[in-house]
């Protein structure tokens, strides 16, 4: 199933799964495009916590996407 994710910063990502979302988000990242998906999630979560004071779950692709949605980053 293809889903379009609208991001708080105005971007959009169209992906077939949470893992595909993370891959595309990483590939478009100006900070961590060369990392693994797991490294990207951890780095993104660290920056998000520093900027917004919100913890993002990086235990799985699904929990990462769900946490970003709950935090309001994915609209």
β strands within the chain, DSSP E: 3-6, 12-15
CB-neighbour burial class of residue 38 (10 A; exposed 0-12, middle 13-18, buried 19+): middle
Q: Which pLDDT does position 30 carry in this prediction?
A: 87
pTM over the 0.85 mark? yes
CB proximity list for 11: less than 8 A, separation 6 or greater: 28
pLDDT(54) > 90: yes
Domains in the chain, number: 1
The residue segments making up the domain with residue 65 are 3-71
pLDDT(31) > 90: no
Mean pLDDT across 32-41: 95
d(CA 64, CA 19): 9
Model confidence band, residue 49 (pLDDT cutoffs 50, 70, 90): very high
Q: Which pLDDT does position 66 carry in this prediction?
A: 98
């Amino acid at each position: 199933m293809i889903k379009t994710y609208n991001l708080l910063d105005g971007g959009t990502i169209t992906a077939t799964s949470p893992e595909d979302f993370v891959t595309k988000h990483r590939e478009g990242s100006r900070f961590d495009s060369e990392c693994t998906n797991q490294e990207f999630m951890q780095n993104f979560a660290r920056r998000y916590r520093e900027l917004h004071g919100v913890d993002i779950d990086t235990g799985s692709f699904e929990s990462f996407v769900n946490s970003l949605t709950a935090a309001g980053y994915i609209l």
